[in-house]
Every structure is written in C-alpha cells, then in structure tokens.
Structure 1
C-alpha cells in the first residue's frame, strides 16, 4: 500500500467513538496489521482557544500534520482518528493536507439514541458538565445526521457489544 488511509470515526458525545476505535485497534493488532490511533479531540486541546482560531481547527491541523509526518516516516499508512465532527465534508481537506492528496478517507458515523447516550454520559461526566455535555451531544447528533456525506457509513451502537460494532467498522475499511 503506497497511499495513506484514514478511518474517521465520528459521532455525538457518549456514542462510543474512543471505545470503538480502541477495539478496532485491538482487532488490527491481533491480525498484525500496522496502524495508528489518534484521539482528535486531544489534537486541539489548548485553553483558552487562540483568538485567531476559536474552534481550534488550525492547531488541530498543525498537530495532525506533525504527528502524521512522524508516523509516515516510520512506514505507517493507516490512521484511526476519532472526533465528533471528523466525518463532515470540511474535514476531508484537513486530512488531505496532513496526509497527502491521495489519502483514502473512510467515514464512519456512530449513532445512539438520546436515552442510550444519556446513560453513557451519566457514567462518564461525574462533575458539573453533564447537562451541558448532553445538550451539546443532542445538538451535534442532529448536525451530523443532516450534514454527513452520502458515503458515510452509519453504525448504530444502541444495545450492541463493542466487539460487534468494531467488527462492523473494521469490515467497512477493507483492512
């Protein structure tokens, strides 16, 4: 394989992006398939956000470009990347700039009902952030549903085992 491939796992807060990505990674490790995993949310974690980059897009892209260059130099060509909105059309340009114009992008949107998501967030958000996180999650779910490109693979996570979800996601890549 000469060109890079990026599996973008998007979805609302509480849908299981990180958990699924780590399980996909476990499946790939078991198959001895070289790959990398990046939590996209961490690529732009600066506070306060720069005035000229309020949504942290520029710092995220700079970090992705630098980290990917290191991976590519070592021969890696497959990236698993999680971020809520990574499946949206405007993200493709960032990955093309960071990984090369011929990068193959596989978009997977994980979905879950409000009830399922709330149950997951209650277990995760033990501080003062639960109400805001749930409201943001509902808003992002609607945005993702409306704006994800037609080639986005939608995978429901309600009531399913993470191993089954990860298997479905991995099958979508052809890896």
Structure 2
C-alpha cells in the first residue's frame, strides 16, 4: 500500500517557508527520495478569485496525482490560519501522515526579510502587518508538531534540522 507523508511548512511571512521547501526538495532529490512540493501561492494565482478557498479546492483536486506515487513525501509551504484551516488541509490530502513544522525568527528579522524581498511599499507594509498579526497569535502551539528557527542557521542547516525531526532520511 502506498503511503504519503505531508510536511506543512508553516510560519509568518518571511520565516522561510518557500525557501526551505526548495532546499528540502533538493536534499530529498539528492538522496533519491520520492517527493513533491505543492506551492499553495501558485495554486491561488487567479484574478479575480472565484472564492476565498480556491487554493484549497485546487489542492484537493491535484492530491490524487501525488498520492499515487509510492511512499511520496510532499512539502506544502503555507500559513495555517487556525485549527479549522488545519482540518481543511487534512481533508484535502486524505490518507496521508501529516506533520506541521512552524518556522520562526525574531519579528525584526521577519520584517527585514519581507521588506527586502517585496517589490512595492504596499506589499512591504501589508506583509509587515501580517508579521505582527502572526506574532500575536496564541494558538501556534496547538497547530505545530515541530518548531525550527530559521534566523540562526543557514538554509541548508535549517532544512536538515527539519528532515531529521521528521525522520525523512539521514540528513
């Protein structure tokens, strides 16, 4: 029987979700491990969006294609808004083992990262506000299974720490 393992890389804007997903993917590829990355941001690139959960419906629609790959490891970088959204994610990828890894860094580091990467003042300000919102959440311990800090180590070290915590090979 095929089994899929899903890693949700969760965290504030600027925490390194997309960057770490690519780095983990490269490490798994080098190790010959069957895997895929599903970029939620890409699943939601439509204007105007027909509904708020458009990306979630897209995830559910494509999941059977991933689930048929024997013993696949799937990485999904996204912000888990709350416990209800986590339940929705689990429903969209049924019959998979599921781990949520929260990525974090100090608020000033997160704000500097989004300020550096975003092309407009409007986007920079919006994401800095989301950093503040995320920092004020009180439900993060309920959502995450593991916790990795991304500010005191490089991408490769952070990726290896996540993989070791998951037991996805000897990295």
User: With structure 2 as the length reference, what TM-score do the two structures score?
Assistant: 0.86
Deviations 1:89-134 (A, max 9, x none): 323433333322x321111000111211122112201312211210
Larger mean CA deviation between 31-40 and 74-83 belongs to: 74-83
User: With structure 1 as the length reference, what TM-score do the two structures score?
Assistant: 0.84
CA contact (8 A) 2:100 2:145 kept: yes
Per the alignment, residue 63 of structure 1 pairs with: 58
CA-CA distance at 1:42 after TM superposition:
2.2
CA contact (8 A) 2:100 2:143 kept: no
Larger mean CA deviation between 134-143 and 165-174 belongs to: 134-143
Pairing partner for 1:105 from 94, 98, 103? 98
CA distance in 1, matches of 2:114, 2:35: 29
> 3-state SS of the aligned residue for 1:79?
strand
Stretches of structure 2 lacking an aligned partner (at least 5 in a row): none
Pairing partner for 1:141 from 115, 135, 158? 135
Query: Residues 20-99 of structure 1: matches in 2 within 5 Å?
Result: 20-50=20-50, 53=51, 56-57=52-53, 59-75=54-70, 77-85=72-80, 88-99=82-93
CA contact (8 A) 1:9 1:109 kept: yes
CA-CA distance at 1:78 after TM superposition:
1.8
Stretches of structure 1 lacking an aligned partner (at least 5 in a row): none
CA contact (8 A) 1:36 1:76 kept: no
Per the alignment, residue 114 of structure 1 pairs with: 107
Deviations 1:24-83 (A, max 9, x none): 111101110000001112222333343xx3xx22x2222112222222334463210000
Q: 1:105 to 1:78 in 2, by over 3 A?
A: same
Superposed CA RMSD: 2.1
Pairing partner for 2:126 from 120, 126, 132? 132
Any runs of at least 4 consecutive aligned residues in structure 1 with deviations exceeding 4 A, and if so which? none
> 3-state SS of the aligned residue for 1:106?
strand
> 3-state SS of the aligned residue for 2:3?
coil
